[in-house]
Amino acid sequence: MTPNELLLWLSARKEGSWPQFRGAVETLDIGNTDDEEEKDTSLPIHQRVRFNLERLGHVEFDAAECEDGWRVVPPTLALCHHDGGVTGVLCGARTPKLLARIEQAASELSFEQTSHVDCPDIIRMQAPEANPLIELARQVGILGQLDTPTALLSHLPSINSLQNWRREPLPQAGKDWDVKQFIIERKAMKWQTVTLQAANAPGAQGLFRFTRFQIPQYFLREGSETIRVPGPIGKYRILSQHRRRALRYDRRTRCLTVPAILRPPLLTERALILCSGYPPALSMSYKRPTLTYRDIPEEVAGITAEVLRQNLR
């Protein structure tokens, strides 16, 4: 079964539990391609597929009303303005009949359906302005979202805002924990192995990753507080404190590049991906893996930098 067929299966069920999703993915012939995550973390296939579906705006996991489960996003045409016009990216639930209606309605527009590794096909439409795409969405009975990347980013809090994250102590015991601390050096950033005792020591500060049974948990220790946060939030918080710049934006090519170890937080990355519909390209720069997001308008790059408390360079 292909990623396209997996999305059709999820769309037919609409929602379900995490065990159902994991069981379905592990019985599918998705393929075991190289992981784009950090080099010291090997994600199992169900996690890789989950993250791809989330990043592309197809499926939500652990959202309100589906805690410990998943639900498919309603079919939506996510629009992004570019200098040469407007691009619409199809997100969410799919059925063969819906895809046929969309392709027929887009006969007078620029229509693309492109396969991509470990993802459902990327379906894009382009027009000189937004109105034809909004009318297409209305005609086929799906949602049309104007300026999706900027709308999404404008509702995200800064990574310096931690009040919504749970205060939770570090694991205190257990021989199965793999414990690492995020270290920023002059020329590199990496995860460094530490002991469970060192992470729990009084005065220990920084971002720690506790992994057991291939499931990582991230804890940020600041002053007297220990806060459980998503890994990318913790990393960019540490970068901000060290005044370390990581984003690089090329205004000529409209590409935004980050070190692969600094993949942006989920919703920030979704906004970047929905500018083009394509996941980031993984490449090597100065012997370090980097992620490059394409077709990023300068306004989107600027808001992304504000959310992540970064200066563009």
Q: Are 152 and 273 in contact (CB under 8 A)?
A: no
pLDDT in the model for residue 116: 86
**Residue type at 77 in one-letter notation:** L
pLDDT in tens, 279-291: 999 988 777 899 9
For the cut 70, the answer to whether the pLDDT of residue 13 exceeds it is yes
pLDDT band at 43 (very low <50, low <70, confident <90, very high): low
pLDDT band at 38 (very low <50, low <70, confident <90, very high): very low
For the cut 80, the answer to whether the pLDDT of residue 135 exceeds it is yes
Question: For residue 273, which of 296, 289, 253, 251 has the smallest C-alpha distance?
Answer: 296
pLDDT band at 30 (very low <50, low <70, confident <90, very high): low
The pTM of the full predicted model, rounded to 2 decimals, is 0.91
The C-alpha atoms of residue 80 and residue 89 are separated, in whole angstroms, by: 8
pLDDT in the model for residue 28: 64
pLDDT band at 3 (very low <50, low <70, confident <90, very high): confident
Residue 142 CB coordination number (10 Å) = 19
Query: What is the full DSSP assignment across 204-227?
Result: --EEEEEEETTEEEEEEEETTEEE
Beta partners for residue 61, in sequence order = 70
Considering only residues 37 and 290, tell me which one the structure prediction assigns the higher pLDDT.
290
pLDDT band at 64 (very low <50, low <70, confident <90, very high): confident
pLDDT in the model for residue 41: 42
Beta partners for residue 193, in sequence order = 180
The answer for residues whose C-beta is within 8 angstroms of residue 11's C-beta and 6 or more apart is 72, 93, 94, 95
Residue 137 CB coordination number (10 Å) = 22
Instruction: Name the percent of the chain lying above pLDDT 90.
Output: 73
pLDDT in the model for residue 2: 82
Range among 37-51, 54-68, 137-151 rated most confident: 137-151
Following CA atoms 263, 161, 245, 284 in sequence, which dihedral angle do they give, to the nearest 10 degrees?
0
Query: What is the full DSSP assignment across 242-276?
Result: HT----EEETTTTEEEEEGGGPPPHHHHHHHHTTT
15-19, 20-24, 275-279: least confidently modelled range: 20-24
Q: Output the CA torsion sign for 2, 8, 9, 14.
A: positive
